[in-house]
Amino acid sequence: MTAARPVAVITGAASGIGAACADHFRRSAWQTAGIDLHLSDTDLPLTADVANRAAATAAVSEVAARFGRIDLLVSAAGYYEEGIDVAEISVQQWDRMLAVILGGTVNAAAAVLPHMVSRGQGTIVAISSELALAGSATDLHYVAAKGAVLGFAKSLAVELAQTSIRVNVVAPGPTDTPLLAPGSPWRTPGYLATLPLGRLVRPQEIAAAVYFLATEGELYCGEVLSPNAGAVI
Amino acid sequence: MALVTGAARGLGHAIALRLAQDGFRVAVNDICDDGRLTALAGRTGGIAVPADISEGTAAARIVRQTSGMLGPVRVLVANAAVMSMGPFLEQEPGKWWRPIDVNLSGHFRLIQAVLPGMRGLGEGRIVIIASGWGVVGHRNATAYAASKAGLIALTKGMGRELGPQGIVTNAVAPSYIDTEQLQVDADDLGISLNDVRQRYRELIPTHQLATPGQIAATVAFLAGPGSAGVIGQVLQPGGGVTRTRA
């Protein structure tokens, strides 16, 4: 049975940008499946650790079995450990960050691609970060992982260029989600005044960029779309 | 209200129609009106404002006419472009500077002319049509590439400078679009239009030329409510060609 409406698989759908994407797509008459450590507000909420290849594959198989199609993967699963100096990052922190952010993207892409290939079309949007474009004075492991996603996505895009499957990246700037704690330096008036937009990006604005790429982005192949409030130009 | 330059045909024409479809009243400019511009204005709920934007008084005149009839320009699409090709050392200086006079300087003057209206509205969008050749350059296109690279830098500067005023500036840098403009490329290469289409298809990772409507979709995104967080960026709907050195 193939669902009549297009289907979006969103990792990290339980909060922040992933949740905003789920909301936007549902309001745009898509069906949504969320894969997250926690239950998401989606049509098919699944819990799995995307850093685990088998778990990611099993979750995607469940989506395909339920809906019979996968039109879009949004790889938004990730987390942020703020304010850690490069000398203080432990090996475990480095490995885990890479496993979730890069590994999660790789695992989810590997899981959805057979379904997209057999349908002959699909879109993958990986969520990176403007910090991967510009660098950051702290949290090197987060930045490196988000940067690795850029290289991965650009290469996968070219590998799939002659199909109708498109792979692109949305690199959000400072966005108003729980990833930025209430006392975060990114929320201070002094910092916000440095942004041409004068405020944080809204999660809905990230979702709008993902939606654009998913519905009218067929010419974008390995591109990086960065709604970042003008933090990185 | 939106204003699109270079709207008589090709990409500008498609942009004007798409913005009208999205609810804008669109004023349309091109260097002259042979009837096409007026016909288009009839379809976009706007007016035709023919003018050579590189001419000194044109920008002020365009803005006076459009704001008189339709109110201040809220979205400017800077699309008009002169494209000439030829080996750099063989270029006659007057001809070499023409793409810069129109594409870069002409739009600079037009942007200056629309800014007071946008400031009065407290908001505005400026969408600059640049080019993949402005990003990576191209043989026999030094003036065109310089004009488009200048527009990209202008986009970034204005993104920073005007963002705090609620005016959002971004650029679209397409690569190979299937329009009549490809004849310039064909003539430079000494091959037929169909042959240049095929040659360009082979350079592009996706093996597809863009249609004007597909590029217009990006302009519509940048003119619309969802893209307020995108500032000073250069979007490249080009099938990946600027990164796989063609």
CA distance B241 to B245: 7
- In the residue annotation, A142 being an active-site residue is answered as yes
Measured between beta carbons, the chain A residues lying within 8 angstroms of B226 are: 204-205, 208-209, 211-212
CA distance B84 to B184: 7
B205:A221 CB<8 A = yes
Identify whether A150 is part of a domain: yes
**Which mean pLDDT values do the consecutive 10-residue runs of chain A (233 residues) have?**
92 97 98 98 98 98 97 96 87 95 97 97 97 90 96 95 97 93 93 97 98 98 98 96
Q: Which candidate, A185, A106, A93, places its Cα nearest to that of A143?
A: A93
Determine the pLDDT at residue B246: 47
Q: Which residues contact B120 (CB under 8 A, 6 or more apart)?
A: B72
Determine the pLDDT at residue A3: 83
Q: What is the CATH number of the domain that holds A136?
A: 3.40.50.720
The CA-CA-CA angle for residues A143, A149, A152, to 5°, reads: 145
Q: Is the Cβ–Cβ distance between B45 and B68 less than 8 Å?
A: no
CA distance B22 to B235: 20
At B159 the three-state DSSP class reads helix
Q: Is the Cβ–Cβ distance between B5 and B59 less than 8 Å?
A: no
Measured between beta carbons, the chain B residues lying within 8 angstroms of A121 are: none
Active-site residue (options: B24, B133, B144, B176): B144
Residues of B at the A interface, defined by Cβ within 8 angstroms: 156, 159-164, 174, 205-208, 210, 214-215, 217-218, 221, 225-233, 235-240, 243-244
B218:A196 CB<8 A = no
Over the stretch A178-213, which tens digit does the pLDDT of each residue have?
Answer: 888 899 999 999 999 999 999 999 999 999 999 999
Identify whether A200 is part of a domain: yes
Determine the pLDDT at residue B245: 60
* Residue B230 identity: V
Number of domains observed in the structure of chain A: 1
| Containing structural domain, residue A20 | 7-225
Rounded to a whole number of angstroms, the distance from the CA of A138 to the nearest CA of chain B is 24
The CA–CA distances, whole Å, from A63 to A74, A102, A106, B60 equal: 14, 21, 17, 57
> Which CATH topology does B2-175+211-237 take?
Rossmann fold (3.40.50)
* Torsion (CA) B205, B206, B208, B209 in degrees, nearest 10: -60
Q: Suggest the residue from B131, B156, B221 to mutate for an interface test with chain A (most A CBs closer than 10 A).
A: B221
**Residues in chain B where the model's pLDDT stays below 70:** 245-246
CATH 3.40.50.720 domain position(s) in chain B? 2-175+211-237
Q: Suggest the residue from B135, B204, B235, B241 to mutate for an interface test with chain A (most A CBs closer than 10 A).
A: B235
CA distance B174 to B129: 8
Q: Which candidate, B183, B212, B206, B214, places its Cα nearest to that of B196?
A: B183
Is the whole model's pTM more than 0.90, yes or no?
A: yes
Identify whether A231 is part of a domain: no
ipTM of this predicted structure: 0.92
B240:A161 CB<8 A = yes
A228:B237 CB<8 A = no
Q: Say which residue the tokens 């193939």 belong to.
A: A2
